Amino acid sequence: MSSTLPGDAPLTLPTTLTIKTIVSVQELILDFLNKNPAAVLDIDEAAQVDLSFVQLVMAARKQAEARAGRVLLARPASGDLYDVLKRGGFLDGMTPDAAHFWLHQEKN
């Protein structure tokens, strides 16, 4: 399970997280991070997801960390998001940090 802290604010994302909508999703996340030090991304289990969203989340995490902030997932990856991670090879040889972020697995 992901560790949330006081001040971690939820951000409910649209149900289409694909290349067609990625610019507006990027703006939504960046605007949110400009107003909040941390974002807990609430992704609907039925959301349509493609690789562009995974790349966006990875970039948002790095940007937030560079500003002493953070990005978390409200729930472990499931549905399309999990499938995209699997097809993209992100689940193979996953670091403990990545497994904690995407799958909410405890770090050893």
Count of structural domains, the chain: 1
Helices (H), the chain: 22-35, 51-66, 79-87, 96-103
Instruction: Report the predicted TM-score, pTM, of the whole model to 2 decimal places.
Output: 0.90
Q: What are the backbone dihedrals phi and psi of residue 22, each rounded to the nearest 5 degrees, phi first?
A: -65, -35
Q: Determine, yes or no, domain membership for 1.
A: no
- Give the pLDDT score at 106: 87
84 C-beta neighbours (distance < 10 Å), count: 20
What CATH number does residue 75 fall under? 3.30.750.24
Q: Determine, yes or no, domain membership for 79.
A: yes
pLDDT tens digits, the chain, 108 residues: what are they?
A: 456 555 678 999 999 999 999 999 999 999 999 999 999 999 999 999 999 999 999 999 999 999 999 999 999 999 999 999 999 999 999 999 999 999 999 876
Q: Determine, yes or no, domain membership for 83.
A: yes
Q: Determine, yes or no, domain membership for 71.
A: yes
Q: Determine, yes or no, domain membership for 15.
A: yes
3 state SS of 61: helix
- Residues with Cβ within 8 Å of 46's Cβ and at least 6 positions away in sequence, in order, are 15, 79
